[in-house]
A and B are shown apart, each in its own frame.
Chain A
Amino acid sequence: MSEAQSTGLSDVEVKARQLDLKSLDNPRAMKLYRRFDGIIILVLFTFLVLGVQIQFTLTAGDWDYWIDWRDRRWWPLVAPFSLLLFIAPFTYGIWERVRLPIMATAVTTLLCLVSWLSRYLNFYEFTHFPLSFTFPSTYIGLGILLDCALAISRSLIVSTLIGGGLFGALVYPINWSFMAPYKVPVEFNGMLMSVADMMGYQYIRTTTPEYLRIIEESTLRTFGGSVTPLTAVFSALCGMVVYAAFLWVGYKINGLDKFTKRIV
């Protein structure tokens, strides 16, 4: 039985595969492969930077711009929701096609780099807010956890349940060391507030709805201290659901790797 018959491939496909395998021993071909790998990674990552910046700025940006906005109810929920939604389709494509569990780490690292650059140029240089008030949060650790869940389990379902859940649940703890100094209580004009609240009063954002009030509203500060773990659990649930939903979007989009004769 010929190779073509045993594998179910056509003769042309078998010949192309043999040529591909043979080229792996060809140093000239390998040099060119490495060159185009490098260019494609550069191009993909630069477009990713734009994509994640647009996505994150317009869905969770407010919670990331200001230290006093990083509350216990909305920030740990919207930030992972927004990121997982963007990461999932890329993870699906890159995992299915080239078996690389890297996209969550790549997206979160790129977001960190571009956010620092952007905060410096736009919030510090352009509108003169101090960087200690507008520095970005970090999500790189969450990206690594999500990719590790995929690398170890080699299953998108398991990584959704474990990685997606951890990504949602650990936003607050992973940023805690950066934020702790801003959560120190202070008294101002007879009112108890945090250092972050004070900064919000001092550096006035004249056209935002939050320019003269404490961000954490309603019963949040009289809720017996369980708001953070409650949000973490809910965020873990949302993380799993949104990650699974957008893996499905990635599955559909990667199925469109085709040509058409007509647009309509």
Chain B
Amino acid sequence: MARENTQSIALDGSADSKVAGHFKRNRFAYVFGAIVIAAGTAIRIYLDTMGFTVGTDYYSEEFQKYWMPVLYGELILLSSFTIILSVYCWMTRETDASSISKELELSRYWKLLGIFTVMGIWAGCVASNAVESDAAWHQVTIRDTDFTPTHIVIFYFALPFLTAMLIPAFIWTHTRIPAYMNKISVPFLAVVCGILMIMPNYGFNEWGHTFFYAEELFAAPIHYGFVFLGWSLFFLVPLAMQLIGNMARLIAETTAEDYNPAAE
């Protein structure tokens, strides 16, 4: 598979125009970036429209009709997405790292950066739309359930979706890129685990909230679990340095004047 793929890879020698070449090279990031922005916009419009109209009373028929199916749909969609993609990445893994040419390896790094770009776009959407929507909601609305509309969006879709992208990306990287095969990148693992563990931490958060209905201090200690797990993003710098080091080496090698792919 690796040898076949090598044939289709061009570093910069495409006959396309500059703009067409740019979009072609980055089609993964553009297509999936557009999909996640569309998904984020759609769920945000739903929250704006249905949040305060049918989402303030968990025991009402409207809530059960308009919000709980959204929650169930998200859980099914995201768990299926994660499991199917992870299993696919594992089942189609490379078994022989030596069969991967330098061009193919470099092209996979570019694809990994594309995957990270999509996750980055989603991270930006979550930061600007989701995080403080929960803050604003809880400072004006009585808490009568763990499944408030803002929780259904942020706890059960926005952050899990980031995890749902990170886990297959982690498996893809460790089964496709020779520098990561047969070993585990510690900073990458730390980022994945930190974001993943935010979900079990909902338990601590919601358990804390069962003590009171109407005191929403956002700097309260029951929220510090999220803060601590968010610190896993500190590992992005060593992860970026790993990628930069490996990609710089590959670029230097594959663009050298005396580079001969056939000699590999």
Measured CB to CB, the residues of A under 8 A from B are: 16, 19-20, 22-23, 26, 28-29, 31-33, 36, 39-40, 42-51, 53-55, 57-63, 65, 78, 89-90, 93-94, 97, 114, 117-119, 121-123, 125-127, 129, 205-209, 249-250, 253-254, 256-263
Q: Is the interface of B mostly helix, strand, loop or mixed?
A: helix
B128 nearest CB neighbor, chain A only: A117
Distance in Å from the Cβ of B74 to the closest Cβ of chain A?
Answer: 19
Distance in Å from the Cβ of A141 to the closest Cβ of chain B?
Answer: 22
- Bitwise interface map of B from 98 to 122 toward A, beta carbon under 8 Å scored 1, else 0: 0000000000011001001101110
C-alpha gap A48/B223 in the complex (Å):
19
Contact B11 A118 (CB under 8 A): no
A-contacting 9-mer, from B61-69, B81-89, B248-256: B248-256
B215 nearest CB neighbor, chain A only: A209
17 A-B interface contacts by CB (under 8 A):
A19-B249, A29-B251, A32-B12, A44-B237, A55-B227, A55-B231, A62-B218, A90-B237, A121-B44, A125-B48, A126-B137, A127-B137, A127-B140, A206-B214, A256-B238, A257-B242, A259-B185
Given A126-B137, A207-B143, A256-B186, 19 further pairs, Cβ under 8 A? A23-B248, A23-B252, A33-B248, A33-B251, A49-B127, A49-B128, A53-B128, A54-B127, A57-B131, A57-B218, A61-B218, A94-B237, A118-B132, A121-B44, A122-B135, A122-B136, A207-B138, A207-B216, A257-B186
Given contacts A19-B256, A29-B252, A259-B183, contact A43 B120 (CB under 8 A): yes
Task: Find chain B residues with CB under 8 A from A126 CB.
Answer: 47-48, 51, 133, 136-137
The size class of the interface chain B forms with chain A is 35 or more
Distance in Å from the Cβ of B129 to the closest Cβ of chain A?
Answer: 6
* 8 Å CB interface, B217-240 against A: 217-219, 223-224, 226-227, 230-231, 233-238, 240
- Tell me whether B208 is interfacial, beta carbon within 8 Å: no
Contact A40 B237 (CB under 8 A): no
